[in-house]
Amino acid sequence: MATLPISREKQIELMRTAAERQEARTRVWKSDPLVKRVMSEPAPGQEKTAYQRVPLKKLG
Amino acid sequence: MAFVFSYIPGQTAGTLISGNGEFIVRVPFAFDDETGDVYSIVGDFAVFPGGGELEFEFGFKVIRASPEFEQIDEIFWDGQATMPFLSDRGHRAMVLGELFEILRFLIVKIRPQRLVMMTHTANLPKRALVKFQKLVAVMREEGLDARKTDSWNGRHIWIAIR
């Protein structure tokens, strides 16, 4: 697959609007139920449980 | 607030989700034992304006979220803004190490043809730019030709192609 260069004008446009793009993206994240759920899952050690998740690739 | 750093290198499970042209990896590393808030390092590939197939912008941030209310409370773009809770140098190094692994995972999994990465804040201090240089090293280790181009108004951009 050919990868054409990004023009200098385009690079400047990307840099100029970088924060706007990130803010727009995270506005969507803050309202999306799956993203919110995933970001809110407890950290290691946060839940008092006798069990742990085991990645399926470690089974069998 | 009692910030509890509970990340264990190589043993803390991450999650990949995709949608909207994005691939997002989230790895939790700490929690607040009073509020219950959880802190995560997040790296993502996202389509960018004018980008083609398998061309993405790489972004990263720390997110504070509330498991109780299942909501994102705060997003930290700037490493300096994380200092109030992530001040321990050893902890910062571990979180940064996890970010490198997230980028490595995304490159291997998604196999981008082009990646762009840029600073969002003008005139970042040199030590902040070192983090970007290390991310570029990861891109190169994973087979991408990653280069920095000229900065613009104190902002920096790196472009990597396969």
Domains and CATH numbers, chain B: 3-161 (3.30.310)
Task: Give pLDDT tens digits for B24-76.
Answer: 999 999 999 999 999 999 999 999 998 888 999 999 999 999 988 889 999 99
Mean predicted confidence (pLDDT) in A5-11: 91
Number of domains composing chain A: 1
Are A44 and B20 an interchain contact pair (Cβ–Cβ within 8 Å)? no
Q: What is the pTM of this model?
A: 0.91
Between the alpha carbon of residue A46 and those of residues A34, B25, B33, B93, B123, the distances in Å are: 20, 20, 8, 21, 37
Amino acid identity of residue B91, one-letter, is H
Q: Say how many Å lie between the first and final Cα of chain A, rounded.
A: 38
Are B28 and A37 an interchain contact pair (Cβ–Cβ within 8 Å)? no
pLDDT of residue B78: 85
Q: Which domain holds residue A27?
A: 8-33
Q: Give yes or no for A16 touching B (CB within 8 A).
A: yes
All residues of chain A having their beta carbon less than 8 Å from the beta carbon of residue B49 are: 13-14, 17, 21
Between the alpha carbon of residue A31 and those of residues A37, A39, B30, B77, the distances in Å are: 10, 12, 23, 19
